[in-house]
Structure 1
Amino acid sequence: MTSYTLTLLIDAADLPTLQQAGEQIVLVRRLADAGRCVAWAVIPLAPSHTVTWNDDYALYASNTPNAIGNLVTVGASTSVVWQCDYRYATTGFQGPVPDANLGAATVQLVNQVPATTAASILSGLAQSYAVDGAASGTAQPLNAQTLPALQIAQFTASQALWIYLASGLQTGMIVNTPVTTTNMVNTRQVFSAALLLQFSATAANQTARYSSTLGSFYATSG
């Protein structure tokens, strides 16, 4: 199992202006073809933070409507075993059942809740983390995919991670896809352009520093 570490740095001189804007550090995981993004972690401003996590994932199900700004309330969850099928029914998750047709880091979920009971569920992957050694507790949603009754979704693991500053967000909130430039974006929020980092077993420890010149984070060796 790989452990990952993200070090976040902000110069103390930059903190007052960012705090006056009501901003916090936002971490959003990038999963391909997986519905909407979710604020995986929203972290208060500080000169430095260390965020750690590993390869453990969970599947979750929720009745939260899939709309930007909603906070995802996890109703049920189960640990993920890759290359397996899971089913979600009114009694919760069932599985895993091995499925050799799936990719090495892919899981499949079937919503077996009858259409007469609930038209759809909100589902996706979730993962826990620790900030400065303090664990997040339960696994936090990484994405939000609407899954209609009796239909199938597949989710594939990814360690790609966006980092940006924004006001008005909370951990677990469904958010717009982060942008790498703030040009031509219509929003009431204050936010920075996002830095996308790709973590892997060979790039498990990375550092991002905020630059007031750039108005965003950039990758650095320390």
Structure 2
Amino acid sequence: MSQFNLKVAFTSEQLGILYATGTNVIIAKSSDGRPPSVAWQVFKPLQSNTVSWKEEYGIYASTAPIRNGAVLSQLANTPIGIERGKQYILQNYGAISGPHDGGFPNAFIFANQYAGLPYITAGLYQNASVNGIDITSNAISAIPVLMQSNAIMNPSTSIYIWLQSQVVSNSVVTMVTSPMTELKFGGSVTDISITYNSASGKFVPAKSNTLKSTSDQPFNHIEPSL
């Protein structure tokens, strides 16, 4: 099981501005090739920050609407560390059972057999450590699943990081107000160190970057989605 580590550095002048404006660091992940839509980790930055996580997932179900700012409270979930290529079923009694056969290779399948609502919001969750504090069960994705329908979930190892105010962890975020930086973890790339560039509003490689592979450029910048 791979573990990934991200180090994020700010200057003292940058921190003063971020705290004065109530701006936090936002980290998100994508799933199924779609842009990120959930704020996985949100935290007030220190001068040197470390975020670590392992490539293991759980599935959750929620009644939260998929609209900007909605907090993804979990009404049912699986344990962390579920198997790829298997099916997990939200039963009519309100719990998720599995693993069951009938999945697709390298993906997680969520089947909604809960008859109490016309649809359920479902997605993957993933644990992390942020500056030495364990953050458990925060969602990384959210998708509406009709009753008697299935959702295929295939998470990416890439993450997205940006700065924004008025966003909380484990919530839907569809309005991104600053440039996002995509960091392509995976394979031999398990450690990335970045700093914030105030002039561009983007994150850039730190001079002491400890990438284990430089064959692929791990940085991609995406403009705000307003």
State if a TM-score over 0.5 links the two structures: yes
Instruction: Give the CA deviation at 1:45.
Output: 2.0
CA distance in 1 between counterparts of 2:198 and 2:56 reads 35
Gaps of 5+ in 2: 210-226
CA distance in 2 between counterparts of 1:177 and 1:127 reads 22
Is residue 124 from structure 1 mapped to residue 110 from structure 2 by the alignment?
Answer: no
SS for the counterpart of 2:160 is strand
CA distance in 2 between counterparts of 1:97 and 1:31 reads 21
CA distance in 2 between counterparts of 1:216 and 1:197 reads 12
Question: Where does structure 1 differ by over 6 angstroms across 4 or more consecutive aligned residues?
Answer: none
SS for the counterpart of 1:16 is helix
- Aligned partners of 1:9 and 1:210 also within 8 Å: yes
Is residue 193 from structure 1 mapped to residue 183 from structure 2 by the alignment?
Answer: no
CA distance in 1 between counterparts of 2:46 and 2:195 reads 12
SS for the counterpart of 1:124 is strand
CA distance in 2 between counterparts of 1:44 and 1:17 reads 12
CA distance in 1 between counterparts of 2:134 and 2:167 reads 20
AA at the equivalent of 2:18: L
> Who is 1:98 aligned against?
101
- Aligned partners of 2:29 and 2:159 also within 8 Å: yes
CA distance in 1 between counterparts of 2:49 and 2:39 reads 17
CA distance in 2 between counterparts of 1:219 and 1:201 reads 19
CA distance in 2 between counterparts of 1:58 and 1:134 reads 20
Q: Deviations 1:129-155 (Å, cap 9, x if unpaired)?
A: 00122101x321001101110111000
Matches within 5 A, 1:69-218: 69-79=69-79, 80-89=82-91, 90-99=93-102, 102-104=104-106, 106-114=107-115, 117-136=116-135, 138-176=136-174, 178=176, 191-218=177-204
AA at the equivalent of 1:176: T
Instruction: Give the CA deviation at 1:35.
Output: 8.5
Identity among equivalent positions (%) equals: 23
Distance 1:120 1:157, change over 3 A: same
> Which fold has the larger relative contact order, with Cα–Cα distance below 8 Å and residues 6 or more apart in sequence?
1
CA distance in 2 between counterparts of 1:8 and 1:216 reads 12
- Aligned partners of 2:126 and 2:140 also within 8 Å: yes
CA distance in 2 between counterparts of 1:94 and 1:35 reads 28
Instruction: Give the CA deviation at 1:33.
Output: 5.0
SS for the counterpart of 1:128 is strand
- Aligned partners of 2:68 and 2:175 also within 8 Å: no
CA distance in 2 between counterparts of 1:212 and 1:11 reads 10
- Aligned partners of 2:66 and 2:143 also within 8 Å: yes
SS for the counterpart of 2:50 is strand
SS for the counterpart of 1:159 is strand
Aligned length: 205
Instruction: Give the CA deviation at 1:66.
Output: 1.5
Distance 1:35 1:17, change over 3 A: closer
Gaps of 5+ in 1: 179-190
